[in-house]
Chain A
């Protein structure tokens, strides 16, 4: 178990630029989740995949956000035309089978200037 890996750890970008984050889940885990966390808050659900299928997407997720998991392994989260309000920690988690206990990565901290 090498854990959930997220890259990059930190990303600073200017408003209006596009950014892409990557998540590598634990290898035998078929479910993958993206959450966002801002200071003083718990994580907020963004979306999740079962294998390569994106099964649910939060209403919080604007059209500027898109996530993919093309081969059911790693996933990418892209934010287009970033805004200052997108500044947050983006967390990826994975789980196996029907388990609802999640394994988290260290997150990608996005700062939009």
Chain B
């Protein structure tokens, strides 16, 4: 069965620090990969996605993620975080040859100290 693991449940950083949030999945076939963000009091929003091609994908608000197939990973990065990045971040995976279900990680709560 597919599963998604996010390594850190809580991350606290100061403004201007660099960010990397880990995401690993278990599935041997072709996948679509997503990062969603949920700001306090708001709905889940798509941050970035990988379907095929360049494994380094850029999303909104300066975020990027790198798909490393050999490591089954899709880590999220941002070189310099801002206070407004405080949110919960979810990694999700969809198996291309299966259905339209997304399998989600448990999320990482990111707090940026001003």
Residues of A within 8 A of B (CB): 3-4, 31, 33, 40-45, 48, 55-56, 58, 91, 93, 95, 100-107
Contacts and interface: CB of A to CB of B under 8 A. Distances in A.
Contacts of B100: 31, 33, 48, 55-56, 95, 100
Give the size category of B's interface with A: 20 to 34
Contacts of B36: 104
Contacts of A58: 101
Interface string B43-58: 1111001010000000
A3 B43 CA distance: 10
Contacts of B94: 100
Given A33-B100, A41-B106, A56-B99, A101 B34 contact: yes
Interface string B16-45: 000000000000000010101000001111
Given A33-B100, A56-B101, 20 more contacts: A41-B106, A41-B107, A42-B92, A42-B104, A42-B105, A43-B90, A43-B102, A43-B104, A44-B104, A48-B100, A56-B99, A91-B43, A95-B100, A100-B32, A100-B34, A100-B51, A100-B100, A102-B44, A102-B102, A105-B43
Contacts of A100: 32, 34, 49, 51, 94, 100, 102
Interface of B: 4, 9, 32, 34, 36, 42-46, 49, 51, 90, 92, 94, 99-107
The 7 A-B pairs of least Cβ separation, nearest first, read A42-B104, A104-B44, A45-B101, A106-B43, A104-B43, A100-B94, A43-B104
A112 B49 CA distance: 36
B34 to A, nearest CB: 7
Contacts of B99: 55-56
16 contacts: A31-B100, A33-B100, A40-B9, A40-B106, A41-B104, A42-B104, A42-B105, A42-B106, A42-B107, A43-B44, A55-B100, A100-B32, A100-B34, A100-B51, A102-B44, A104-B44
A107 B49 CA distance: 22
Residue among B94, B103, B104 with the most chain A CB within 10 A? B104
